[in-house]
Structure 1
Amino acid sequence: MLPAVQSFLAGFPNLVLHLAVTLGLLGGAAALYTRITPHDEIKLIRHGNVAAAISFSGAVLGLAIPLAFCLAASVGVWDILIWGVVTLVLQLLALRVIEVVMQGMSHRIEAGEVGPAVLLFAVKLSVAAINAAAVTG
């Protein structure tokens, strides 16, 4: 059998497992995020609130970026689980701090104001980039 095929057959199950674990962590963290925000972003998005969609997109990307770096630097499933949970907890805490510091943003997002949502998006991604660098550095 060709070495490339052997490599694929040996590595593919790990790829699927690592991907499933990482996506599971992301889904759980996104669900938890929707529970800790002062407003129901999913409901607002379903009603066409663009500001909520921007803010929630920033949160999901903000959760995914450190996880992606964790996945890239991992040596196995336990590594992904341990460091993935650590990065997600840090990111969720940072997102809550952002919302507390930037008082009134929740009401502005509920009102559909896009400007504050874009600012939140940028801050969430900035924190995620630093979190991701910290986990790999």
Structure 2
Amino acid sequence: MTFSGSLAGLPSFMAYMGSAIAFFIVFQIIYTLITPHHEFKLIRQGNLAAAIALGGTLIGFALPVSNVIAHATSLMDFAIWATVALVVQLLSFIVTSLTMKTLSARIERDEVAAGIYMAAVSVSVGMLNAACMTPAY
């Protein structure tokens, strides 16, 4: 294989990576807007619960998005399924916070257990989300 042959996939890599980063940023913005607590302020103050919760949520979103990249047939296909992943992950926060009404306040108080719980829910939903997005051949 030639050097130029090795780089033949570079345009696709750049397109998918750029799109994935854009979705990641959009997800993070929307997520931090819908949560009652202010993640970045809390994290800057050293709040471990907020860092754990946000970190788990970002991993939970990245899991299905990475699976979509691996199986997408086009950038449009990727965008559609990445949007589905985004909505599912946001809904997981909404449902979790409705189930545990004090979740946000507990994260604000730096209760690590609440942060771990939110992270675990997010990663779990992300894993299920990713598995459901794998095409059945």
Distance in 1, matches of 2:104 and 2:89, equals 18
Within the alignment, does 1:81 sit opposite 2:79 as a pair? yes
> Runs of at least 4 residues of structure 1 off by over 6 A?
none
Structure 1 residue 4 displacement after superposition? 4.5
**Residue 13 of structure 1 corresponds to which residue in structure 2?**
11
Structure 2 gap ranges (5+): none
**Residue 33 of structure 2 corresponds to which residue in structure 1?**
35
**Residue 52 of structure 1 corresponds to which residue in structure 2?**
50
Farther-moved stretch of structure 1 (27-36 vs 88-97):
88-97
How many residues of Structure 1 are paired with residues of Structure 2 in the alignment?
135
Query: Aligned runs of 1:62-101 on 2, under 5 Å?
Result: 62-101=60-99
Structure 1 gap ranges (5+): none
Structure 1 residue 76 displacement after superposition? 1.8
RMSD: 1.2
Q: Deviations over 1:10-55 (max 9, x none)?
A: 2111111111001111110111000000111111001111111011
Q: Given residue 84 of structure 1, which amino acid in structure 2 is its aligned partner? A: A
Farther-moved stretch of structure 1 (75-84 vs 49-58):
75-84
Structure 1 residue 100 displacement after superposition? 1.2
Q: Given residue 6 of structure 2, which amino acid in structure 1 is its aligned partner? A: F
Query: Under a length normalisation based on structure 1, what TM-score does the superposition of the two structures give?
Result: 0.93
Within the alignment, does 1:119 sit opposite 2:122 as a pair? no
